C-alpha cells in the first residue's frame, strides 16, 4: 500500500495554498486507504496550507484526525493562537461527552485526562469560553 500512496502523498505535500481545493479533494481517497499516511499530506515542511481550512477539512473527515492536526500545530509548530487552543479544548470536551453518552468510560477517561492536562499546561486558551461549555459533572476542569 505504501508504494501506491507515497507518490500521491509526496505530490500533494508540494502543492501550495492556491491548490488547496485540489489537495482536499485528492486527499479523500488516501484517507479511505490509510488515515495515518494521509495525515502526512498536511504536515509538510515545504509548503504550509491555511491552518484553519485544513482543520475544518479534517474535522469533516474525522474529528480525531482534526484533533491530531491541532495537537501537531501546537506541539510541533508552536501555534499560540487562542482560536486553536480553544478549539482543541472544545474538541476534547466534546469527545469526552460523546464517549460518556456511548458508555465508553475508558475512552471518556482518556480524553478527559487529555483535556485536564491541556488546560493545565497552556495559557493560550480562553477559560471563560471553555467554562461556558462544561457540563455540571466535569468538576475537575
Cα separation, 84 vs 59, whole angstroms: 13
Rounded Cα distance between 116 and 138, Å, is 10
Task: Tell me how far CA of residue 75 lies from CA of 24, 79, 95, 101, in angstroms.
Answer: 23, 8, 20, 30
Residues 53 and 40 in one domain: yes
pTM value surpassing 0.85: yes
Tens-place pLDDT, residues 11-70: 999 999 999 999 999 999 999 999 999 999 999 888 999 999 999 999 999 888 999 999
Name the domain count of the chain.
2
pLDDT in tens, 94-108: 899 899 899 999 999
Asked whether residue 9 falls in the same domain as residue 56, the answer is yes
Report pLDDT for 139.
66
| Full domain range(s) for residue 34 | 1-79
Amino acid at each position: 500500500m505504501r508504494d501506491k500512496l507515497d507518490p500521491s502523498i509526496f505530490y500533494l505535500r508540494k502543492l501550495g495554498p492556491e491548490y488547496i481545493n485540489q489537495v482536499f479533494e485528492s486527499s479523500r481517497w488516501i484517507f479511505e486507504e490509510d488515515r495515518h499516511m494521509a495525515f502526512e499530506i498536511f504536515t509538510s515542511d515545504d509548503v504550509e496550507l491555511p491552518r484553519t481550512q485544513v482543520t475544518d477539512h479534517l474535522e469533516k473527515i474525522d474529528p480525531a484526525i482534526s484533533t491530531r492536526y491541532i495537537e501537531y500545530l501546537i506541539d510541533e509548530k508552536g501555534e499560540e493562537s487562542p482560536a486553536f487552543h480553544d478549539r482543541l479544548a472544545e474538541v476534547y470536551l466534546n469527545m469526552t461527552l460523546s464517549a460518556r453518552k456511548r458508555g465508553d468510560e475508558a475512552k471518556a477517561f482518556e480524553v478527559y485526562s487529555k483535556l485536564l492536562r491541556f488546560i493545565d499546561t497552556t495559557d493560550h486558551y480562553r477559560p471563560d469560553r471553555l467554562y461556558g461549555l462544561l457540563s455540571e459533572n466535569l468538576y475537575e476542569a
